Structure 1
Amino acid sequence: MPRQSKEFQQLLRQKQQDKENQTNLRQLAQKVKQGEFGESISQVVIEPPGAEKMSEVLEDFIEPYINEVNNLGAHRRLLELAVTAWNTSLLPRLQQRETVEKLFNLEMFEGDIEMQQEIKKLVYEMIERRQKYFPKIKRFIADFSLKKAGKSFHLSVASTLLDTQL
């Protein structure tokens, strides 16, 4: 059997990766439909044509913090914080503070006040970052999927199609 060129092998790998990405997107869409937002947010979409890709927006959003993560679990935790900060930033300012205080209460950190303060500081920093660098993007992030893809990660994001009035 003749040897395949490197370009051909690369093309096959890319096609396989694209197929896996499409499967991931379908699974994420199904998860969102079955989840807590499935009924309440009717405009949840994944990669709508003509709109910015929220996966790229979210990757840009976490860019200053990405060097702090070195594995899939840490990357996922960073994204969870980022999504929480992003969605909280869409609320009126007074509600933002209440939400952060409620979500990141001392019980969650088993009494570790220092850790609680660090995380809350990071979340407030991310809220400010969203408002400063992404003020025109007001789409609610319903869920995300992060998968290992070779030496990197593939992120899929489900969000509202139109700007959300929370």
Structure 2
Amino acid sequence: MASKSKGFKELVQEKKALQTKRQLAQKFMRKVEEGEYGDIDAEVIVEPEGYEKMSDVLLQFLKPYLNAGKTLKEYKSLVMLGIIAWNASIMPPEKQEEAVSIQLPKIVAKMPKNIRSDMTSVINELMERKQKHFNEIKRLILEYTVEQQGEGFNLSVVSSLIKNS
């Protein structure tokens, strides 16, 4: 009987994760329609066949740092840092510093001053990690959500669907 309830619990979690991804996709499409991303024509496909799940890729990318995210707030901050580094590292080198300088203040504004300088070095480390281990993946992370799930966390991601070059 325990195995049936465990299977049911996993099914409910999968259904909730899919619902969250659809909500993120709808949020992204609203932003596209409102012109927040400029003049682009986009279509969102949830979990496109033949592509890796970006939530899994992002977790693998952040793996050496995940121990630092013990609370939901810390985990969200870590994910945000990872996304900034990921997206900036996809941009041309001359645009990367500008991209980080625009996004980073939004995250560190509420952090103590002594930690703020550390965030820049963490982002630089993450950008180097992206180039070294994940350089073939050129998808931008557009939307995300992190939720508490038991004693762990659940990450959902909406990303651009750009074929790897």
Instruction: Tell me the TM-score normalised to structure 2 length.
Output: 0.84
RMSD (CA atoms): 2.5
Structure 2 match to 1:24: 20
Say whether 1:137 aligns with 2:137: yes
SS in 2 for 1:115: helix
Q: Compare 84-93 and 42-51 and name the one that shifted more.
A: 42-51
**What is the CA–CA distance in structure 1 between the aligned matches of 2:76 and 2:38, rounded to whole Å?**
22
The structure having more radius of gyration, on CA atoms, is 1
Q: CA offsets, 1:69-126, max 9 Å, x none?
A: 1111111111111101100001111211233234446xx648x764332111111111
Q: Residues 85 and 124 of structure 1 are in contact (CA less than 8 Å); yes or no, is this contact kept in structure 2?
A: yes
2:87 corresponds to 1:91: no
TM-score normalized by structure 1? 0.84
* Aligned pairs (5 A) from 1:118-157: 118-157=118-157
Partner of 2:63: 63
Deviation string, structure 1 residues 23-59 (Cα, Å, up to 9, x no partner): 1111111111122349636154432111111111000
Residue aligning to 1:15? 11
Q: How does 1:39-50 map to 2 (within 5 A)?
A: 40=40, 42-50=42-50
Number of the residue aligned with 2:2: 6
Where structure 1 has 5 or more consecutive residues not aligned to the other structure, the ranges are none
The CA deviation string for residues 1-42 of structure 1, in whole angstroms up to 9 with x for no partner, is xxxx11111111112112211211111111111223496361
Q: Distance in 1 between matches of 2:40 and 2:5?
A: 44
Moved more, 141-150 or 126-135: 141-150
Task: Report the number of matched residues.
Answer: 159
Q: Which runs of 5+ in 2 are unaligned?
A: none
Change (3 A) 1:85 1:150: same
Q: Contact conserved, 1:146 with 1:155, CA < 8 A, in 2?
A: yes
Contact 2:137–2:164 under 8 Å retained in 1: no
Q: Tell me the distance in 1 between the aligned counterparts of 2:26 and 2:55.
A: 17
Indicate the residue corresponding to 1:34 in structure 2. 30
Q: CA deviation at 1:155?
A: 1.3
- Does the 8 Å contact 1:89/1:130 carry over to 2? yes
What fraction of aligned residue pairs are identical, expressed as a percent? 33
